[in-house]
Structure 1
Amino acid sequence: MESTRERLLSGSDVCGRSTHSRPWDDGTDSVDNHKRHIKAMFDFCAKLGVKYWTAFDSDLVPFTENWEENKTHWDDVTEYIQELTQRYHIKLLWIAPDLHSHPRYLSGAFTSNDASTFIQAATQIKRCLEVSQRLNAECFLIWPYREGYHTPFQTEVAREIKLFAKLLKLTAEYKDRLNYRCQLLIMPYYNSYQSRNFYGGWQHHQWRERDLVHTYMWDVTSCLYLLKNYNLDRYYKVSVPPGHHMYMANVYNMLGSVTVTNDWDHYDSRRLTLMMKCIVDQVGDHVTHNKYI
């Protein structure tokens, strides 16, 4: 079964097949195909006048278990992106390690009870930071989508949260070792708290219990509390969707980025004006508009 992302890319839905025809995409997971996707994205941004772009590492290089092969792929793709950046003058706002889509991260990346998974996540973050520095990205994003638990009978919550904070601190320390001047961002897990009704309108529904209880960083408040408790707020700011979370981050002077997606973010001009005021109040913050490559 196709994922939501795959449907978005192919133009299909649960009742129909692909409708998008993209001449640059040959359907393979090769380096050349990824490079063609990146080139198409730069062309698209240039036509729209977009000055920044963002990506997860899995958007840029094919997956491989061989680290030497992975390094070769990254070197090839990074050089290609540097060439495109000079040609199009479009900057990289942030890059983020994909710590959620691989099956190994089913039970978390930062908080997994499998030591090899924790090491894999740390190594992936390390490589992404190095690439981010080479590409002069202004920010580096962490999205702890899988960090939580299924049942308290199978986990030690306090231990997992300490592991979570440990890897966040290691990330910040390695950034400093690289002498890389960028803003670290963390994006709490947000459920799709709006859904389409039968007539195509938008309606709110209640948060599910898992979103309220089982996810360690389910909203901006729980995120800020964890950062403050482990003295990580001096390294990180939060990336939030428009609306309430944005206002709360602004109150604590922790607004680092606003992530706008086409799926849920529909606001009138008055609300958008108030949101823009939050950004103006914190000079130097960034607004990111997520697009799949």
Structure 2
Amino acid sequence: MRMEAVKILWLLICTHLLLIQVLGVPETCPADIGSKCGEDNWEGEFFPDIPKIKYEGPSSKKPLSFKWYNAEEEILGKKMKDWLRFSVAFWHTFRGTGADPFGAPTKFWPWEDGTDSLAMAKRRMRANFEFINKLGIDRWCFHDRDIAPDGKTLDEANANLDEVVALAKELQGTKIRPLWGTAQLFLHPRYMHGAATSSEIGAYAYAAAQVKKAMEVTHYLGGENYVFWGGREGYQTLLNTDMGRELDHMAKFLEAAVAYKKKIGFNGTLLIEPKPQEPTKHQTGTIGMLLHLPTFCRSMAS
């Protein structure tokens, strides 16, 4: 009889503990694609087994610790995090597949469902900020079409971007901000022969509208810079290229961007990122090419 009483007591204790677990912890949605929760009420962790990475000094044996980088340490009157402004690149970190021209994708995040839906974009954004917080850094950077899906029209694409950016603004709070933002003017087939240098008025105008919107959201998120990467601005051969015309197009495009920056009160720096032969063989975003744009150079300096 006594043994039966002990069993009943243990059963009651276990039941009580189980109820505490079920009722005492808020309902969460797992980060994997099996989640039934909507993107707006998601809770939980994408990297549940990884703690916040901290500075522990060169003697630390932990692989996930900073040995030399101490964000708060002052050097010559400035904190290390201000000397070294690390940022998480959204496209490499959360959109890169590990594929190359000769091989299939090799990187698969467990929360990805293979779509480019708005719900998936929001889930990626939540993963992004958990990653940033666990790294202990305060900057990130993005292309517009990496963080939000494109649309059938420019208005639809802008609406998608606005919705994801609103979530990003909420998640980044007051301490995190973009090191820079930019427009993705290279992936869509309309840009196969350039964006700012395109001789096709539809592609040129669409690119200008895309930069306008990307600069607005960079400003809204508190971005420090805005980047122009002209991966498609250039040529493979001069046999079918009117260089003078293309440089004129690019100069007008960049001058308009400078004017709009001033109009909206964006105080960030405009940066040009030259990457010759990636993918265009000869790019117009290099110093040698920009020297041919004296009017633009003067407007950048003003």
So what's the TM-score if we normalise by structure 2?
0.63
Please say if residues 188 and 223 of structure 1, whose CA atoms lie closer than 8 Å, have aligned partners that are also in contact: no
Is 2:259 the counterpart of 1:156? no
The offset of 1:113, in angstroms, is: 1.2
Q: Which residue of 2 aligns with 1:222?
A: 288
Q: Which residue of 1 aligns with 2:193?
A: 107
2:97 to 10, 25, 35: 10
Q: How does 1:139-154 map to 2 (within 5 A)?
A: 139-154=225-240
Q: How does 1:136-215 map to 2 (within 5 A)?
A: 136-191=222-277, 211=281, 214-215=282-283
Please say if residues 139 and 185 of structure 1, whose CA atoms lie closer than 8 Å, have aligned partners that are also in contact: yes
CA distance in 2, matches of 1:82, 1:6: 19
The offset of 1:19, in angstroms, is: 4.9
- Deviation readout 1:172-191 (Å, 9 max, x if unpaired): 10111112211111111234
Residues 24 and 165 (structure 1 numbering): CA distance in 2 closer, same or farther, change over 3 Å?
A: same
Letter of the 2:229 partner, please give it. Answer: W
Q: Which residue of 2 aligns with 1:93?
A: 179
The offset of 1:24, in angstroms, is: 2.1
Structure possessing the higher relative contact order (Cα contacts under 8 Å, 6 or more residues apart): 1
Letter of the 1:115 partner, please give it. Answer: I
2:159 to 72, 75, 99: 72
2:148 to 61, 70, 77: 61
Find the structure with the greater CA-based Rg: 2
CA distance in 1, matches of 2:216, 2:94: 31
The offset of 1:23, in angstroms, is: 2.5
- Deviation readout 1:32-63 (Å, 9 max, x if unpaired): 11111111111111111122111111111101
CA distance in 2, matches of 1:29, 1:130: 23
Aligned Cα root-mean-square deviation (Å): 2.9
Q: Which residue of 2 aligns with 1:258?
A: none
For structure 2, the 5+ residue unaligned runs are 1-90
2:220 to 109, 128, 134: 134
Give the total of aligned pairs.
Answer: 212
So what's the TM-score if we normalise by structure 1?
0.64
The offset of 1:20, in angstroms, is: 3.8
CA distance in 2, matches of 1:16, 1:10: 11
